[in-house]
Amino acid sequence: MASGGEQTTSEYIRHHLQNLVYGQHSDGSWGFAGSAEEAEQMGFWAIHVDTMFWSISLGMVFLWTFIAGAKRATSGVPGGLQNFCEMAVEFVDDTVRGVFGNRQNDLIAPLSLTIVIWVFLMNLMDLVPVDFVPQAFHAMGVPYWKIVPTTDPNVTLGMSVSVFFLVLFYNFRIKGPIGFGKRMVTHPIPHWSMYPFNFVLETVDMLAKPLSHGLRLFGNLYAAEVIFILIAAMLPFYLQWTLSLPWAIFHILVIPLQSFIFMVLTIVYLAQAHETDEHH
Amino acid sequence: MNINLTMIGQAISFALFVWFCMKFVWPPLTQVMRDRQKQIANGLEKAALAEKQLEAANSSAATELEEAKQQAAELITQARNRANQIVEEAKQQASDEADRIKAGAQAEIDQEINRAREQLRARVGELAIEGAEKILETSVDRGAHQQMLDKLAAQL
């Protein structure tokens, strides 16, 4: 709704749920989509600029914070930043040890730390009032600007599919192609007549994992964002706090919980990929 | 897109939310951080203390060992001295005893010699007279020659 004039509630809501898309217009030129219809016409070969900006910026925040904490690390009593970083690392390390056991893998703990902090920061953007940043960008002439990357399924599915590829990689590496194939046909019913059935079941199970993994995070945060927007759109301004404040307080719980769940599922899937037949 | 009172409504709830976090969320979190810091500080302090105690124990053990060695050396010297003294005393006693025994024996020998000499002396006159009687086939007056005989005996 680039021009002024009266804005209906549904327009307001739709506007707030629209990403800033860069892609090829139907006339062949490249540029930002000015409306939801234009964005849809761009198809697959388009990019959500706001999502990329916020996810990369928040990733940088995570990296700089922890680099600064690591550089200033002492073996003495930790200061504020080092203390915080140590607590985060310890927490992730404990969780990984609890789920993944003592198997040798140098990737999984750093991966889990990155996931939990990054997703947490991206979720945290949910608490910023829904109008603040989009209004500011609108004033600068940017038509759409979403600030919560995890309400964009591209982000959550991008992460969960990356984890899925890691799961496939470790399945092949730990079990070997034959072991992995054997596992795909012999579970859950280890009888030769059931092998095709098992294979279908295991394949569905395999493919459902990244989907549920990514959509769970997306769904939770998207719903949260929609409700914030609804509150902002439907209630008179002097009553908004009666609903948005409890909802925000509730999200003090939801935001860390969803990032934690995303991390734990990553660890669980990778642990399953590391399981060999002796464990069954 | 229009800026209206919605902005203010969001600002109100945001301010309330920030107040809520300051009041109820932040203090427990910082408390956890402080507790952890305190725990680490305590641990480090205890470790430092233990190290210091170990050092003190090590040095006191060293001094005690040194003292014990010194005492042992002293005792050995004393014992050696005492042993020497005992040996000296024993030697002294032995040589005294030997001297005493030697002196006793000497005295006895002297006594014996004297007695033998006296007996000889007593009998020499008789033997001389007997010899002379046999030579002279006469009796010699004992009284008249007593003086000469005594002189002879004294020469023995």
pLDDT score at B51: 95
The verdict on a CB contact (< 8 Å) between A237 and B25 is: no
> Residue A28 gets which letter from DSSP?
S
Give the whole-angstrom CA distance, residue A190 versus residue A182: 10
Half-sphere exposure of B31 (CA within 13 A, CB side): 7
Whether residue A155 is predicted with pLDDT greater than 80 in this model: the reply is yes
* Partner-chain residue, chosen from A77, A127, A238, that has the shortest CB–CB distance to B17: A127
For residue B96, pLDDT over 90 is answered with yes
Shortest Cα–Cα distance, A110 to chain B (Å): 22
Supply A256's token pair: 């860390």
* Residues B123-139, mean pLDDT to the nearest whole number: 79
- Nearest Cα residue in chain A from B26: A252
Which residue is associated with the tokens 């749920």?
A: A17
Residue of B nearest to A12 (CA): B1
CA B23 to chain A, closest CA, distance in angstroms equals: 12
Flag whether the ipTM exceeds 0.95: no
Determine which of A242-256, B11-25, B26-40, B132-146 has the lowest per-residue pLDDT on average. Answer: B132-146
Inter-CA distances, A11 with A8, A153, A230, Å: 5, 21, 12
The SS3 assignment for A42 reads coil
Distance from CA of B52 to the nearest CA of A (A): 17
User: In this predicted structure, what is the pLDDT of residue B1?
Assistant: 52
Residue A280, classed as helix, strand or coil, is coil
- Residue A47 is encoded by which pair of tokens? 């990019």
- How far apart (Å, rounded) are the C-alpha atoms in residues A206 and A204? 5
Select the residue from A126, A249, A251, A255 to test the B interface by mutation, using most B Cβ atoms within 10 A. A249
Give yes or no for residue A6 having a pLDDT over 70: no
Q: Which residues of A touch B3 (CB under 8 A)?
A: 135
pLDDT at B81 over 50: yes
Residues whose CB falls within 8 Å of the CB of residue A12, separated by 6 or more in sequence, listed in order: A229, A232, A233
| C-alpha–C-alpha distance, residues A122 and A150, integer Å | 6
List CB contacts (< 8 A) between B14 and chain A.
128-129, 132
Q: Identify which of B2, B16, B21 has the shortest CB distance to residue A241.
A: B16
Report, as an integer, the average pLDDT of B65-77.
Answer: 96
| Domain edges within chain A | 51-279
And the tokens for B38?
């305190």
| Pairwise pLDDT comparison (A21 vs A160), residue with the higher score | A160
- Whose CA is closest to A151, among A224, A44, A64? A224
Distance CA(A182)–CA(A174), nearest Å, equals 13
pLDDT of residue B147: 79
Q: Which of B6, B20, B40 sits opposite A237 (nearest CB)?
A: B6
* Percentage of residues of chain A with pLDDT beyond 90: 45
Is the pLDDT at A141 greater than 60? The verdict is yes
> Given an 8 Å threshold on Cβ–Cβ distance, is A138 in contact with B33?
no
| Residue (of A95, A94, A89) closest to A267 by Cα position | A95
Whether the CB-CB separation of A107 and A99 falls below 8 Å is answered with: no
Q: What is the dihedral of CA B76, B80, B85, B90, to 10 degrees?
A: 120
Stretch A39-50: mean pLDDT, rounded? Answer: 86
Q: Indicate the pairing of strand A46-48 with strand A21-24.
A: antiparallel
The whole-angstrom distance between B9's CA and the closest CA on chain A is 4
- pLDDT tens digits for A195-209? 889 899 999 999 999
Helix (H/G/I), strand (E/B), else coil: A130: coil
Q: For residue B14, what is the nearest residue in chain A, using CA coordinates?
A: A129
pLDDT at A98 over 70: yes
Q: What sign does the CA torsion over A123, A125, A131, A136 have?
A: negative
Higher pLDDT pick, A101 / A257:
A257
Catalytic residue numbers of A, as ranges = 212, 216, 220
A77/B37 Cβ within 8 A: yes
Q: What pLDDT does residue B138 have?
A: 64
| Residue A34 confidence (pLDDT) | 80
Checking if the pLDDT of A267 tops 80, the result is yes
CB-closest option in B10, B16, B33 to A232: B10
Spatial contact of A135 and A128, defined as CB atoms under 8 Å apart: no
| Contact (CB<8Å) A80/B33 | yes
Of the candidate ranges A247-251, B6-10, B61-65, the one whose mean pLDDT is the lowest: B6-10
Cα gap A26→B27, rounded to integer Å:
54
HSE (CB half, 13 Å, CA atoms) of A133?
A: 15
- pTM of the model as a whole: 0.73
